[in-house]
Amino acid sequence: MFFLSWGRPSPENQKACLDKAGSFNYDGKYKGVTAGSVSSLQKDQMLSDEGYLLNHARVLIGSGKGTYEKGKNALQNWGHFQMNWTFVEPTTPIKSGAKFCVCVKEFLPWLMMPLQVVYVNENKSAAKVKSSFSFGSGTLQGHLLAGEERFSVELDENNQVWYEILSISKPAHFLSFVGYPYVQLRQKHFAKESTNAVLKHVTAD
């Protein structure tokens, strides 16, 4: 099962997708795992043994509290997904349990990928971090991949602001299994384009 739309998916199309999607399609023991550190995931042999691959990108997007607040606002309004080939409805609430579709244009059709927010974390004045905001979402039935992804923005002790993407994933459908090298390329492309979208947001007047 997967979800296609020949035109740009409407809110009604996305609601129909989410109504059919059902529950998470990855092992419950990994729910919330992306809230941990990159190093802990890299050392987790069980993840590797079960076929999950780690995808990570961390980019400096500026400095200062103002840039951090703009970066946080970008994430809270799904600005990191608003591109001509992918989007999330910007009114989708960033709260645990909220379901949403990542809509992606692949050649002629659009794909609708159902997910659910697993956690939302905001920290202030933690060790080596002045402020950070992050949320993680897990894939639902009907998503071509199985796994979890975290987006975060962080103001560190040196007053630098970082945008980070961290995910674990593996194929959940025959199409993604056959085309997984292409999927990995698309993940890297998304990381670059998403960073540009956030940078555009934080540098806007």
CB of 147 closer than 8 Å to CB of 41: no
Helix (H) or strand (E) holding 99: strand 99-105
Whole-model pTM: value is 0.92
Instruction: Sketch the domain layout of the chain as residue ranges.
Output: 3-203
Position 104 scores a pLDDT of: 94
Contact 62, 202 (CB under 8 A): yes
pLDDT category at 156 given cuts 50, 70, 90 is very high
Helix axes 180-203, 65-76, angle to 10 degrees: 130
pLDDT of residue 183: 84
- Residue 196 CA to residue 82 CA, distance in Å, equals 11
Q: Report d(CA 138, CA 167) in Å as an integer.
A: 10
What pLDDT is recorded for position 177? 74
Tell whether domain 3-203 is in CATH 3.10.270.10: no
